[in-house]
Structure 1
């Protein structure tokens, strides 16, 4: 079945024009969302009408989420889509049950939680891509890039996305060993804690690997933008910063790594949606995990840290800036 599905994803012929709604957990200025939406539009946009709705849950206080959900549900009623594409855990937890109750098929991407967190994952109208960071593959890769590689700080926000990803792979442990390297895992939504972890990391670690950092707030509960946070981290850290996601790589950001691609997740989600628009029932489409990672590196970051990639890795990598 998996091989048949992959073959269908490659062709996924499009039917006559229908209506697709994309519901973002976050907002269009967030690069992850922008990248997967562009990918969806590249597959479906010429043949179908696409509506985009954002829940904005990284910036809005949680107390305001119910009002945003109500507004989104009202918009859904007017749009009456043939399929809904949900991006990330918050959109799924807030919207999936409502959509299937209205008999609207759901394709999800970027979801880290399982059926315990998201019972609607088991609904017959639901399929999609479970996002799974490449923890082991990333560390194995970085051990080939770094000369000092004994201890890593894995630093993330304390969002549902990161909690689910870490708990599925590591359970309740916040220390682990992968390929001979020791990992300490820190999840926090506090700006000072996050930054102090970066500033002091050189005392213990050889490198930092970041997950998402988009739910960080200061002591006055002000939202801290990811760019502001990473720029300060880059400026003051004494050890290199890598990433599990390609959206965090660039000038004065993280250097690179073996990463998940928002674009690839979007392409796959769009092709799954296309199958549904062509009459395939969602429960006939097996749910997938992130299909493949890729090497992405910042040229300025490599230069800043005086790092060289092997000819083999360099030949396979995408370079930014």
Structure 2
């Protein structure tokens, strides 16, 4: 009996030792490279979503996960191509000293300057919020065989915009605007050019959607942006705008970012604004069908968790941002004298009733 008990005890011990146990001594390292500053309206919700999903998967910052962050600040401070390259080199130096188990890049500048530099190396890389086409980046520096089967050390989440869905929603909410134009507005930064390319791809073969016509415009300064907004407001054929300009220089040498541009837009624009993401609606834009940056970051966090649990980055497909969220700013709707159908309000994922305050540096 004792011998049989001893054998049973040994088997149980082997099972316990073989079971995956996530303990503090198994702490892994994540290096996060964000394109912008810590409070950026695009980067911040992605970071929060990724870390929240990692916590849900048992990877808890400060316990099972050690996180090092590097903010490139390329919206306001390091805006020239050379400055971005230098920031990327600084990030890579910090990264190599940290020796991470996985790297997360947020938005295009971080991926272009840091993520691509790690292509073909041992460190797994997950990107989030990529506006540029993965295939275009792949021509610069090969990192994937296909989106479905990357095959290397890089995977991530592409920021699909769902432009057609946003236009369809506008037509559903306000059928009297059919026959009018929706005008997308981007800046001439690398990200802005990437978004403009996304517009072309998503709207290819669709000059109109649900009876609304589409066009896009690019501006290179805040002065150009203000002039364009005034022109569009004076044009009765324009039913709505889709403002995505998030970095614009001023005549006195300042750089305005999304919060400041949106604040001016809300004060001076009289057309409903389709929001590219829910946070832009929280800042004051009308809203519509928007990218949920928090969910997009969460998807990247899930990929990181899979990698930390032993899967290879190259075996994980590059995926689109999760489906759009319905968001509306009711205060903005009232300012524009627009009444939303109750069916849309009850289906909304986020409803904001006032404009979020912002600080201008």
TM-score between the two structures when normalised by the length of structure 1: 0.88
Match of 2:70 among 44, 53, 72: 53
Match of 1:92 among 105, 108, 111: 111
**Which is further off, 115-124 or 164-173?**
164-173
The size of the alignment, in residue pairs, is: 307
Please say if 1:278 is aligned against 2:297: no
Aligned to 1:158: 188
Q: CA deviation at 1:30?
A: 0.6
Q: Gapped runs of 5+ residues in structure 1?
A: 1-12
**Which is further off, 267-276 or 169-178?**
169-178
Aligned to 2:45: 35
Aligned to 1:5: none
Q: Distance in 2 between matches of 1:173 and 1:276?
A: 35
Q: CA deviation at 1:245?
A: 1.5
Distance 1:265 1:173, change over 3 A: closer
Q: Distance in 2 between matches of 1:99 and 1:91?
A: 12
Q: Are 2:159 and 2:321, in contact at CA under 8 Å, matched by a contact in 1?
A: yes
Q: CA deviation at 1:116?
A: 4.3
Residues 198-235 of structure 1 show CA distances to partners (whole Å, capped at 9, x for unaligned) of: 12212321111122x22211234420132222222211
Aligned to 2:329: 298
Aligned to 2:358: none
Match of 1:263 among 279, 285, 294: 294
TM-score between the two structures when normalised by the length of structure 2: 0.79
Pairs within 5 Å for 1:205-220:
205-211=238-244, 213-220=245-252
Q: Distance in 2 between matches of 1:176 and 1:65?
A: 36
Aligned to 1:66: 85
Match of 2:28 among 18, 28, 42: 18
Q: Distance in 2 between matches of 1:229 and 1:174?
A: 31
Q: CA deviation at 1:180?
A: 2.1
Q: Are 1:132 and 1:165, in contact at CA under 8 Å, matched by a contact in 2?
A: no
Q: Gapped runs of 5+ residues in structure 2?
A: 1-20, 145-149, 355-361
What SS does structure 2 have at the residue aligned with 1:241? coil
Q: CA deviation at 1:102?
A: 4.2
Larger radius of gyration: 2
Residues 17-38 of structure 1 show CA distances to partners (whole Å, capped at 9, x for unaligned) of: 2001111011112122111111
